[in-house]
Chain A
């Protein structure tokens, strides 16, 4: 197909098509922003009581690289359980989550995967649990399929 298609036209399609679909992507992004408030559990974030706790919880989540073993809403590492729904899995109990994190043995469990002992303070534990509770309130279109994540 020697001259059936030309470089100029291929170039025009590249520039035009890219611009076109990027604009479409921006339009959908704009619409998504309109929908986020009804799905992203904003009430918890904006509550003067919980908001700062969640923020601290997310900071701890990040500064201990929890995502390096766990998934959160399915994204992260696949070494340890999904935590987006851990609040539900642990019977909607913040105390259970805090207890679990707190009780990890320092030297691990022989022969098995185990979570490190992070020596969090009670305030930090509470913040982390509050963060995980907040995430469990996000509307994820019924994912994961069941409580096991």
Chain B
């Protein structure tokens, strides 16, 4: 860590991990409700658990992105953060607002929360992933603006690197497209059309710029490969991402009242969406093979490579599985979607967050470059437990989804939804058990922060 103000990232990372735990706990509750329908009913209906599960994920990823930005922007720009105090202030505002929102979800009925927060004045609640009260959404906008101002000024006064520019573009895009969450017409088709401008253009658009920038930063630091090489790869990868991903939005416009040509446009372009992910995998392994030094933080390297592989599997392969319109006709809104969602979010965004946390945390905790060997080994156990769990969760949900599509949507005598759910309960049980293993992995991962704190950093042979 070269600049004092980078330290503010630590707050963001810790909060992110706290929310990560919350996300997983509520995920387990939901998983249990899938097989024991009355679990916690009526105190915590499924939709409440789901809101906490998904919103905690979104907020903790945003926290991690912000933390990543606060960490890497000063280092890249070679200057202190413009306004460290603003970063701290915004953290507390964001964290308390997120906490208050979750408390609102848990303590009040959703309709009472809507009344309390005066949803009538500007109704934006009750849409998937955008369940936050309008006032929370406004808060997110304020936090995002203050954050962009802070980061933007830092970049302006310092060295302008490609990584910083791409990161800034990604974060700006994130803020801009979030504004579509305030557009909520009664017309369901229009509502859904622009809802995707938030959701798709986030996760298959601007977030990938953030992902690319963070990955490039960690690879430069850990492999010592020439910045010039990494930066041009970064450009070409994000170029392919947006070239395929923007029109790729069309794969959400098959069955929601939008014109039918989207079936063609969406299928063709989203079929290309795995390409940038594949390039990212090739890129990451290439850079690691060409490394000019052996960084002592092996765990961070593992996370970085893991991101490249799992993002390709989750977003690329599992996305492609059901992206073509004729396939999607049978899989749309089934457990296949859930399978893809889980592996894509974990593989791309959770893992990149954990990559930067793994890379930066040792320095933020006052070490030179890496945690002790013991801590790193523990962390890698966490990596494997969580990653293998998510692979199996995905496989079980895919199994459930294939059966669901087959029983409920194909054949001569299609079966009603709830009957099908009973028939595929076995897969849900397996998923829930794997979810417990994931939680164990998470605990192991978190415990790595507390072991071997006083032990020395591993020594590395210097590569030529």
Q: Do chains A and B touch in the complex (CB under 8 A)?
A: yes
Residue positions of A touching B, CB distance < 8 A:
5-7, 10-11, 13-14, 17-18, 20-22, 24-25, 28-29, 31-32, 35-36, 39-42, 45, 51, 54-55, 58-59, 61-69, 71-82, 106-114, 116-118, 134-135, 138-141, 143-149
* Cβ distance B29 to chain A, nearest Cβ, rounded Å: 12
When distances are taken between beta carbons in the complex, the residues of chain A under 8 Å from B247 are 21, 24-25, 28
Binary A-proximity of B226-266 (CB < 8 A = 1, otherwise 0): 00100111011011001100110110011111111111010
* Cβ distance A100 to chain B, nearest Cβ, rounded Å: 13
> Within the assembled complex, what's the spacing in Å between the Cα atoms of A22 and B126?
29
The majority secondary structure among interface residues of chain B is helix
20 contacts between A and B (CB under 8 A): A25-B247, A28-B247, A28-B250, A28-B265, A32-B253, A32-B258, A35-B259, A62-B127, A63-B115, A66-B47, A74-B333, A75-B128, A78-B337, A107-B41, A109-B38, A113-B46, A134-B188, A139-B257, A140-B257, A144-B255
Q: Does B246 contact A25, Cβ atoms closer than 8 Å?
A: yes
Q: Does B239 contact A111, Cβ atoms closer than 8 Å?
A: no
> Within the assembled complex, what's the spacing in Å between the Cα atoms of A5 and B238?
16
When distances are taken between beta carbons in the complex, the residues of chain B under 8 Å from A63 are 110-111, 114-115, 119, 123, 125-126
18 further A-B contacts with Cβ under 8 Å, apart from A17-B239, A32-B193, are A7-B162, A7-B232, A24-B247, A29-B193, A32-B262, A36-B187, A36-B257, A39-B257, A63-B110, A63-B114, A68-B50, A73-B333, A79-B50, A108-B38, A109-B38, A111-B36, A140-B255, A145-B410
Binds A, one of B68-76, B413-421, B439-447: B413-421
| Choice from A45, A80, A141, A148 contacting B415 with Cβ under 8 Å | A148
Q: A77-B50, A81-B417 are in contact. Are A18 and B192 (CB under 8 A)?
A: no
> Within the assembled complex, what's the spacing in Å between the Cα atoms of A45 and B416?
30
Q: Does B259 contact A40, Cβ atoms closer than 8 Å?
A: no
Q: A65-B47, A74-B333, A77-B50 are in contact. Are A6 and B265 (CB under 8 A)?
A: no
When distances are taken between beta carbons in the complex, the residues of chain A under 8 Å from B45 are 68-69, 116
Q: Does A62 contact B126, Cβ atoms closer than 8 Å?
A: yes
Residue B37 lies at the interface, judged by CB distance under 8 Å to chain A? yes
Total A-B contacts with CB atoms under 8 angstroms apart? 232
> Within the assembled complex, what's the spacing in Å between the Cα atoms of A40 and B259?
10
Residue of B123, B242, B255, B410 with most partner-chain A CB within 10 A:
B255
Q: Does A111 contact B37, Cβ atoms closer than 8 Å?
A: yes
Q: Does B189 contact A39, Cβ atoms closer than 8 Å?
A: yes
Q: Which residue of B lies closest to A107 (CB)?
A: B42
> Within the assembled complex, what's the spacing in Å between the Cα atoms of A17 and B240?
8
Q: Does B417 contact A14, Cβ atoms closer than 8 Å?
A: no
Q: Which residue of A lies closest to B245 (CB)?
A: A21
Binary A-proximity of B249-287 (CB < 8 A = 1, otherwise 0): 110011111111111010000000000000000000000
* Cβ distance A149 to chain B, nearest Cβ, rounded Å: 6
Residue B141 lies at the interface, judged by CB distance under 8 Å to chain A? no
Residue B213 lies at the interface, judged by CB distance under 8 Å to chain A? no
Q: Which residue of B lies closest to A139 (CB)?
A: B257
> Within the assembled complex, what's the spacing in Å between the Cα atoms of A26 and B192?
16
Q: Does A138 contact B125, Cβ atoms closer than 8 Å?
A: no
* Cβ distance A32 to chain B, nearest Cβ, rounded Å: 6
Q: A68-B131, A148-B417 are in contact. Are A75 and B192 (CB under 8 A)?
A: yes
When distances are taken between beta carbons in the complex, the residues of chain A under 8 Å from B111 are 63-64, 118
When distances are taken between beta carbons in the complex, the residues of chain B under 8 Å from A14 are 235-236, 238-239, 242
* Cβ distance A92 to chain B, nearest Cβ, rounded Å: 17
Q: Does B42 contact A108, Cβ atoms closer than 8 Å?
A: yes
* Cβ distance A15 to chain B, nearest Cβ, rounded Å: 8
* Cβ distance A23 to chain B, nearest Cβ, rounded Å: 10
Q: A10-B235, A145-B330 are in contact. Are A58 and B188 (CB under 8 A)?
A: yes
Residue B334 lies at the interface, judged by CB distance under 8 Å to chain A? yes
Q: Does A145 contact B329, Cβ atoms closer than 8 Å?
A: yes
Interface of chain B residues 192 through 215 with chain A (CB within 8 A): 192-193
Binary A-proximity of B158-170 (CB < 8 A = 1, otherwise 0): 0000100000000
| Choice from B38, B239, B246, B259 contacting A39 with Cβ under 8 Å | B259
When distances are taken between beta carbons in the complex, the residues of chain A under 8 Å from B192 are 73, 75
When distances are taken between beta carbons in the complex, the residues of chain A under 8 Å from B223 are none
Q: Does A36 contact B189, Cβ atoms closer than 8 Å?
A: yes
> Within the assembled complex, what's the spacing in Å between the Cα atoms of A3 and B238?
20
Binary A-proximity of B315-345 (CB < 8 A = 1, otherwise 0): 0000000000000011011110110000000
When distances are taken between beta carbons in the complex, the residues of chain A under 8 Å from B236 are 5, 10, 13-14
* Cβ distance B324 to chain A, nearest Cβ, rounded Å: 14
Q: Which residue of B lies closest to A34 (CB)?
A: B259
Q: Which 3 A-B pairs have the closest CB atoms?
A: A68-B47, A62-B126, A74-B333
Residue B294 lies at the interface, judged by CB distance under 8 Å to chain A? no
